[in-house]
Amino acid sequence: MRAQPLAVIPFVLFVAGASAAQQRSADDLFREGSQLFARGETKAACERFAKSYAMDAAPGTLFNLAACHEKEGLLWQARGEFLDFVDRATKAGKADKAKPAADRAAAIERHLPKVELVFPPKSNVATISFDGVTLGHAEWEKAIPVDAGAHSIEFQAPGSVGATRSVTTFTDAAVAKVDVPVLEPVPAAPPAPAAAPAISEATPAPPSPSGGKSTRTLGFALAGAGVVVIAVGAYFGVRTLSEKSDADSACGGSKEMCPTTGQTQAAQKDLDDARTSALISTIDLGVGIAAVGAGAYFIFAGRSHSEPTAAAKLRVVPTMRPGGGGLSLDGTF
């Protein structure tokens, strides 16, 4: 049985310690704490009692630890330890041992500052933690005894953004009121970016009616230009015949029989002019015919819009050969 420091606890302990080795060690610390407490070395005494209680959680050590903390000025801590002692003594059927501790806890509470939570009409708070300790719902509606100093209160609710409030209390037993916030809902996550549409080969769209009209207009223009070019080619064809006739009739039909050099040169000039006119006529007729053909194609292609048509390609290549010229025409329609 542990020695009883008269200045601390006036009754006999009622719960045995653990093993013999632990008990002796816990007893040593308990005795040291009692001696230090008697000499007024409160802080050192509290340390010994705390270490002894950690090794052997005997109710008597808990009571002495609470009394030591009370004298040290740690009223909130002392109150909690006295209440723990009351709970253990009551469960052990030691009501006579529980009453002195309950009276000490009540006396401390009268001197403790308090915090009162003020709830809004539509509070959505689900959990409240005071200095990291969760408060039971029964404690929400009454003033909470606390130590003097700064305190932090956390408010939380599912699906809401938590909030924290700070409050500082003093040793004059005043009541500090803290407004309980209405918690804001957690912001909705931004919508995921829409998936990029799948890229697929698109079927070429059929020509629009306006496209067909433009195609026919182009066809008529080409055909008209082709007719004009054919007319020019025909003119140079007629001119070719005339100039060839002049060349053939000069000097009796042979330039070698021309009596003079001037006549020979004139005959040669008529022949060269005939060849030039023939070349121009050939080219104009070929280009004109090609233009009329291309124009006809575009006119007929513009009438149908059910299927896309390939673009027409036309190539005209002049050719030269001894004694004349010609025209090569190819392409796709």
pLDDT at 207: 52
256, pLDDT greater than 90: no
Over residues 26-34, the mean pLDDT reads 92
Write out the two tokens for 151: 């305190």
pLDDT at 296: 72
Tens of pLDDT, residues 282-306: 776 677 677 677 767 767 776 654 4
Over residues 185-214, the mean pLDDT reads 67
pLDDT at 179: 93
190, pLDDT greater than 70: yes
pLDDT at 309: 46
More confident residue, 22 or 127: 127
More confident residue, 81 or 215: 81
316, pLDDT greater than 90: no
Name beta bridge partners: 134: 129
Q: How many CB atoms neighbour CB 189 within 10 A?
A: 6
Give the chain's mean pLDDT. Answer: 76
Tens of pLDDT, residues 103-137: 999 998 888 888 999 999 988 999 999 888 898 88
- Containing H/E element for 121? none
Write out the two tokens for 231: 């007319």
Q: Looking at the chain, list the stretches that DSSP marks H as alpha helix, in order from N- to C-terminal side.
A: 20-38, 42-55, 59-72, 75-91, 95-111, 209-249, 261-301
> Chain centroid to CA 54: how far?
52
More confident residue, 241 or 212: 241
203, pLDDT greater than 60: no
More confident residue, 134 or 259: 134
pLDDT at 44: 94
pLDDT band at 13 (very low <50, low <70, confident <90, very high): very low
Q: How many CB atoms neighbour CB 232 within 10 A?
A: 17
The single-letter code of the amino acid at 212 is G
The single-letter code of the amino acid at 84 is D
pLDDT at 143: 85
pLDDT at 118: 93
Over residues 150-171, the mean pLDDT reads 91
- pTM assigned to the model: 0.44
Name beta bridge partners: 118: 179
Domain boundaries in the chain? 20-111, 114-179, 209-332
DSSP state of 19: S
Tens of pLDDT, residues 34-93: 999 999 999 999 999 999 999 999 999 999 999 999 999 888 889 889 999 999 999 999
pLDDT at 7: 46
CA distance 329 to 218: 20
195, pLDDT greater than 60: yes
C-alpha distance from residue 314 to each of 121, 254, 264, 287 (Å): 87, 43, 43, 10
Candidate CATH numbers 3.40.980.10, 3.40.50.300, 1.25.40.10, 3.10.450.40; the one for domain 20-111: 1.25.40.10
pLDDT at 310: 47
2, pLDDT greater than 70: no
